Amino acid sequence: MERPGPEPVTVALVEDDDEARQRLVASIRADASLALVGEYATGADALAGLESALPDVFLVDLGLPDLPGLEVVKRIAEEHPSCDILVVTIFGDEESIIGALEAGAHGYLLKGALEHDIAEDIRHLKSGGSPLSPVIARQVLKRLVPTQPARTQLTPRESEILNTIARGFTYAESADLLHLSVQTVHTHLKNIYKKLAVHSKTEAVYEADRRRLL
């Protein structure tokens, strides 16, 4: 006796553009592992439809004619936490992306960047993944990973002066060793203090050693 296959992943979508909606519908219906249980053109209809048919995955466009797409995402996430939400939209700005993810979306795809059948993304989402268009992924990572400050660099002369100070020489002795005037040594030290964000030679030596600049 042949064993029954796994239950299809149920899918609903809200998209106000008729052509875009029909493309999504055709992709879903063409995949035997998916089952379309609702298609809507407005946010209000989508939220009302959830009361009678709760899908495993809901595709949400952000540019809806009646309700903000972010509100629809938030309502679905709050009222139906078992439903995975995949945003499919033309909006690639940071405010929309972060807003959707914070509202409860589990994936974010740009319509113009769909390089393969949406069914693949739906299966990826249902298996625990978070489908993101490449440009969206870069924006999310850029926001999450802080920009690293540029490594502080001392000029060769600044390094020489700081090394003599670290060895215990006075400003005058350092000037003699390096064939500089005391005033020039003081000027270089001021620049060193500024680069290292310190206020004394002791702090400068400690900070430079900590940063492996000596």
Q: What is the pLDDT of residues 129-166, one digit of tens each?
A: 889 888 888 777 777 665 555 567 899 999 999 999 98
Residue 1: the pLDDT is 45
Contacts of 208 (CB under 8 A, 6+ apart): 154, 162, 166, 192, 196, 214
Model pLDDT for residues 79-111, shown as the tens digit of each residue = 999 999 999 999 999 899 999 999 999 999 998
In the chain, domain spans:
9-144, 156-210
- Beta-carbon-side half-sphere exposure of residue 57 (alpha carbons within 13 Å): 30
Question: What is the CB neighbour count within 10 angstroms for residue 36?
Answer: 19
156-210: CATH number: 1.10.10.10
Residue 214: the pLDDT is 76
Assess whether pLDDT exceeds 70 at residue 42.
Answer: yes
Contacts of 133 (CB under 8 A, 6+ apart): 92, 108, 109, 110, 113, 114
Indicate the pTM of the whole model: 0.66
Q: Do domains 9-144 and 156-210 have the same CATH topology?
A: no
Mean pLDDT of 58-74: 97
Residue 141: the pLDDT is 74
Coil, strand or helix: which one is 182?
helix
Q: Are 98 and 144 in contact (CB under 8 A)?
A: no
Which superfamily, per CATH, for 9-144? Response regulator (3.40.50.2300)
CA pair distance 28, 58, nearest whole angstrom: 12
Confidence at 114, pLDDT banded by 50, 70, 90:
low
Instruction: Work out the percent of the chain whose per-residue pLDDT is above 90.
Output: 60
Q: Are 174 and 164 in contact (CB under 8 A)?
A: yes
Poorest-pLDDT segment among 24-38, 121-135, 137-151: 137-151
